[in-house]
Structure 1
Amino acid sequence: MKPDIRFLFSHPAHFVACGFGSGLSPVAPGTAGTLAAWLSYPMIKPFFSDLGFLAFLTAAFIIGAFAAGRTGRALGVSDHGAIVWDEIVPFWLVLLITPETFLWQLAAFIWFRFFDISKPQPARWIDGHMKHGFGVMLDDLVAAGYPAGAGPVQGGFQWIRNWSSFRFASVKFCSNGS
């Protein structure tokens, strides 16, 4: 079955799983979904602290597992190409730890698409063996971890360092003797 606009709006799960319509792209729907994530990130992220955004991503992952499962059953293919929520949520996570400049984010976009398409282990095993909504979401979440190791999102280490400094600021303050 080839999903269309009617299918997209036939159930809220289809609307979410198909990335609010980006998954209906006739060419490279996964790339279209990742691009939708990139374009929507600056509109969504300002409403959250970093930790709040991680909580949002957790909820989006859980909702996505349900939506991907239901949509996959309706389409007769567990990981149909039109299901792109599994690209959107992990790429939001990648963007969270990527420096907020165009070139860094472009590099993260390219690396994420490379690893999402090539699916090195263990993402490939998950993709091949977990044929349900959770598996659909999980393989791309695992693939999102590779760009951090590949280099273009090294800003994530700065995010962790900044968060750690903030978290332990009171300890440093107290050690001054003040």
Structure 2
Amino acid sequence: MNLLTKDPNVDKLSLSNPVHFLALGFGSGLAAKAPGTFGTLAAVPVYLLMMSLSLHWYLAITLVSVIAGFYICDRASKDMGVHDHGAIVWDEVAGFMITMIAAPIGVVWLVIGFALFRFFDILKPWPIKWLDAKVHGGFGIMIDDVLAGVFAFLCLQGIVYLVG
């Protein structure tokens, strides 16, 4: 299964296992370089499928994705024997979904949201970096990206307000 990476820990996961498939961001987490960015790219089609939903349904699906992510990331991490392995990118998928809550529809907004989420996910300003270091398990894997998504959401909505 380890087609893209050369990491033996990834061999412990299987794309045929639904939990592993989601944890690996539909396989995007297997990228040898920048799996978090590829995980966020994998979230784009998810967003495109959801963008025309009512806010109520968008929020409900996003909430389910975050809550399920605690289990998905925890299970994959335990199956690999490595906490927060780079190949586990469901947290990026959920974080990007948060970023894009109530975003205007359009390529420009998609690109801005993507860039803002990656910025906060990579830079990890306080308290994201602190949470990333101190909180473990599935919740720990998810919480830094959830918060990066919230920061990116707030910035994106601020830009929408300023432009509109």
Instruction: Report the TM-score when normalising by structure 1.
Output: 0.78
Whether contact under 8 Å (1:97, 1:156) holds in the other structure is no
Alignment of 1:87-106 (within 5 A): 87-106=92-111
Equivalents in 2 of 1:97, 1:45: separation in Å? 8
Instruction: Summarize the Cα distance change of 1:130–1:156 in structure 2 as closer, same or farther, 3 Å threshold.
Output: farther
Alignment of 1:145-156 (within 5 A): 145-150=150-155, 152-154=156-158
Instruction: Summarize the Cα distance change of 1:72–1:121 in structure 2 as closer, same or farther, 3 Å threshold.
Output: same
Q: Which runs of 5+ in 2 are unaligned?
A: 1-7
Alignment of 1:165-176 (within 5 A): none
1:67 counterpart residue number: 72
Shift, 1:149, TM fit: 3.9
Equivalents in 1 of 2:146, 2:88: separation in Å? 14
Q: CA RMSD in A?
A: 2.1
Q: Which runs of 5+ in 1 are unaligned?
A: 159-178
Q: Supply the AA of the counterpart residue of 1:7.
A: L
Shift, 1:156, TM fit: 6.5
**Identical positions, percent:** 39
Instruction: Report the TM-score when normalising by structure 2.
Output: 0.84
String of CA shifts for 1:96-132, please: whole Å, max 9, x gaps: 2322121222121111101101111111111111111
Q: Tell which structure's C-alpha radius of gyration is larger.
A: 1
Equivalents in 2 of 1:71, 1:59: separation in Å? 18
Is 1:55 aligned to 2:60, yes or no?
A: yes
Q: How many residues align?
A: 155
Instruction: Summarize the Cα distance change of 1:19–1:7 in structure 2 as closer, same or farther, 3 Å threshold.
Output: same
Equivalents in 1 of 2:140, 2:40: separation in Å? 18
SS at match of 2:13: helix
